[in-house]
Amino acid sequence: MTETIKIKELSHFIGGEMIAGQNGRFSDVFNPSSGEVIAKVPLASIEEVKGAIDKAKAAFPAWRDLSVARRADIVIKFRNLLTENMDALIDLICTESGKTAEDAKGEITRGIESVDLAIGAPHLVKGEYSVNVGGQINVYSAKYPLGVVAAISPFNFPIMVPLAQTSMAIAVGNAVILKASERVPMTALFVSELWKKAGLPDGIWTVINGDKDAVNELLRNPEVQAISFVGSTPVAQYIYETGAKYGKRVTALGGGKNNMVVMPDADLEQVANSFIGAAYGAASQRCMAISTLMPVGEETADRLIMILKEKINALKVGAYTDEEVDFGPVISQQSKESVIAAIDKSVEEGATVVCDGRELEIVKESNGFFVGPTLIDHVKPGMDIYEQEVFGPARNIVRVPSLEEAIKLINEHELGNGVTIFTNDGAAARKFTTEIDVGMVGVNVPIPIPVGYHNFAGFKGSRFGEGHMFGPDQARFFTKTKTVSERWLTSSANTGSTFAFPSNND
């Protein structure tokens, strides 16, 4: 007898409570490993979003006025709760995203780095002070929170990206509304409970589940002062342009088409191992995943492919419940079909499939959304699989004759998120890091994603706006600077009217 899966009806988290959806619209939440619906998430109406914003606005003044030390203390308690509930978080992430336990744990650990940085908010919001700039005037600056701010997060990192987008925003005194991906809402709702347990005042953390209606209200509503977005490039551009139209501060991070350049002097065994993890980890559903391998020289390419072919064919794809699995499914049936279509199109355009993930038994027979690791050789600029981001395990090889040609091709691409070079030649590495027009650069590092206390963002079509996701720029993005010039007059200082700037006086 087949076991019936109990489908859970999820909620929003508003004003410190789990609140049921009111308008009757829901979206299915799948377990990507089985293809089964495991929950239904409410899609908020415009009125529900407005109500959540109003509650956040009402809660903001008291949180703003709380001492930075007290706010940091609550962030510390939240951080401790994250580590105490690591196993529960891993299980949620695996269930709704299909990641392996190792990958889920790594994501949580990286997310905690952002929380650690937020604990240092008292240092990051310090102002500046100048004594007697002229005319006995002292000038100082101070940073203040913006008010109600919003984060719109993607499905591929159910906890790391939301923590990176929101931890500092809360620590510096804002009220935060998270519009989590409707594909992975359960992790965000669980995080809400941890903030509550940590002592965060009701209304300072809100989770609104929804689709474009909810997003558009966050973009239009005048009470929302800033938007942080991570997702695809077309949507990032829409978020930026729409938010800017309504006078908001916006940072919108888009996709990536990340390259690994391999010089002839590199250790190809090391390169192959690095490429495997960077290219296929999390079923390649990372904006910093390596999409394109660029070996310099035909001999380098031929030798590297021989090594890679054996390693890629040995990878195991399956459900997270199998501890021997290297990576799991993509997020949806639509994603699976899109990845397979991209592989098919590359063959039509003249590329060669070296390792074919379409042919695995689990891909053909499972109800889960599995695609096997695929490697495609002889890809050329202009082919769809080279130009477009493929959010799944279809990786490609572009053979180049020289480092100069690799730099030229990478710089000409519309996306500029991450790139790395493998070489033992310091001069080649220096040339590469100097000339490449990409936001995050690695040298012998497979995924050049910065640690949580360095800024994270790409260039070109990979970022719209000037903010960052990780790093100290978060404190700047979520605060506004007020500059005060003050002078305390005495009777002897009264020299009559003057048309010069006061600070021009001695």
Which residues are identified as catalytic? Answer: 287
What amino acid is encoded at 235 in this protein?
A: V
| 195/202 Cα distance (integer angstroms) | 9
Cβ-contact 223, 433 below 8 angstroms? no
| E strands, 246-327, in order | 249-253, 258-262, 290-295
CA-based R_g, the chain, Å: 25
Residues 6+ apart with CB under 8 A from 9: 20, 26, 39, 40, 42
Q: What H or E segment, with its residue span, contains residue 443?
A: strand 440-443
Cβ-contact 293, 395 below 8 angstroms? yes
Query: What DSSP string runs through 27-48?
Result: EEEEETTTTEEEEEEE---HHH
Cβ-contact 363, 371 below 8 angstroms? yes
Q: What H or E segment, with its residue span, contains residue 90?
A: helix 86-97
| 117/121 Cα distance (integer angstroms) | 7
3 state SS of 368: coil
| 290/261 Cα distance (integer angstroms) | 10
Residue 145: beta bridge partners?
479
Residues 6+ apart with CB under 8 A from 393: 279, 280, 283, 284, 327, 330, 339, 357, 371, 372, 373, 374
Phi, psi (5° rounding) for residue 162? Answer: -55, -40
Angle 189-120-466 (CA atoms, 0-180°, nearest 5)? 75
Q: For tokens 């600070």, name the residue.
A: 503
